[in-house]
Amino acid sequence: MILHHSLVYKLLLVLSGEHPSLPAAEVKAVLEAENCNFNVVHLKPPIMIIELDRYDICKTLEKRLAMTMEGSRLLFSSSLDMIEIEKALREANLSFLEGKTIAVRVLRKAQCCNVRSLELERKLGAIVLEKTKNVKVNLKNPDVVLRGIIADAFYFGVKVFEVDRGSYDLRRPRYRPFFHPGSLEPRVCRLFVNLARPKEGSTFLDPFSGTGGFAIEASMIGCQVIGLDIDDEMCHGSLRNLNALKCQVVSILRGDARKLPFREGSIESMATDPPYGRSTSLKKAALEELIHVFLHQAGDLLKKGCYVCMAHPSWLADLEIPSKLRLIEQHEMRVHKSLTRKITVLRRV
């Protein structure tokens, strides 16, 4: 995608490193969900650099992303050489700092014996003060945090957001009023939801909602949430969890994911983790048949251009994709030595 050069700025993201491909995939999915024009100009985890034409998208990224640490507006990059770093900073336009307080923070994401973080912070801070007018250092509460990152190269920019990853830990399954073994962690649930590319206010469905993990995360980004499960206990338990976290939800229904009670084209995104045969009520249905029936229904229920993100065990290799759905991406996530989860994203055509 080619962006109008006068509108372009570069956003430097530090990915979490939890998975080789999923953090970057999540970023791209959220930008697509928000109809944001972008180009990925550099991707060498944990560093990702994107050209954007909208600065306001940073607030959305901060709110939605689960597998990103922070974002900065990139000012320059250079080799990992002190002389080159200092030269690049002296050539950078820092006029926007006039009258502000600053702090320089260097983050090390790679080993580099030639560059020491604290020494670099002091040197860069001194150069900034030398180059600018009426700028002061405030290490406790600065107006602007200038972020340096030591990785495959040296990157320098203005920090614009930091993802509150601790908030996900506070709503881990064991802290909710209703718990069931095997529940996915909130960051993974948010990842699934984001890969389904929902928009705020859109209708989101999890047809195997279990304890409500996906419903919680979809609600927190503003979706109109519908959850469905065949087990009464799960339905009541997920409602308890949603209410405890003050999540808005349209409905939690007791029903069979093989017979979804919704109108054609009424759903705008789906994310789900089928039970892999754990549910006693589904033991008679082979997993292959369950997913086959579900995907055909997803093709009918999804609006055109909308997405479903689902998990299945990696040994289910020959996934039959209905003609109404198109494969967009797949990722593998190791759960334990006997299970690798495959995450599949499909779009309604």
pLDDT, tens digit, 9 for 90 and up, residues 51-103: 998 889 999 999 999 999 999 999 999 999 999 999 999 999 999 999 999 99
215 with 252: CB under 8 angstroms? yes
Count Cβ neighbours within 10 Å for each residue of 173-191 and write b for 16 or more, e otherwise.
beebebebeebbebbbbbb
CA dist., res. 292 & res. 26, Å (int): 26
pLDDT for the residue 180: 93
CA dist., res. 127 & res. 130, Å (int): 5
325 with 344: CB under 8 angstroms? no
Longest dimension (CA), the chain: 74
Report the Cα 290 to chain-centroid distance in Å. Answer: 28
pLDDT for the residue 6: 52
pTM: 0.94
Query: Which residue(s) pair with 83 in the sheet?
Result: none
Q: Which of 16, 8, 15, 26 is nearest to 191 (CA)?
A: 26
Residue indicated by tokens 């993974």: 188
Topology, domain 5-162 = VC0802-like (3.30.2130)
186: which residues sit within 8 A by CB, 6+ positions away? 66, 168, 169, 171, 172, 213, 216, 217
pLDDT for the residue 282: 47
pLDDT for the residue 115: 76
The length of the chain is: 349
Topology, domain 168-348 = Rossmann fold (3.40.50)
Q: Which of 175, 179, 165, 184 is nearest to 310 (CA)?
A: 184
H helices present in the chain, as ranges: 22-33, 57-64, 82-91, 117-131, 166-170, 186-195, 213-220, 232-244, 287-301
Residue indicated by tokens 């909208």: 54
Q: Which of 134, 160, 162 is nearest to 146 (CA)?
A: 160
Could you state, in order of their start, the residue ranges of all structural domains in the chain? 5-162, 168-348
316 with 348: CB under 8 angstroms? no
pLDDT for the residue 335: 86
Give the residues of the chain that fall short of pLDDT 50.
Answer: 277-285
CA dist., res. 8 & res. 64, Å (int): 22
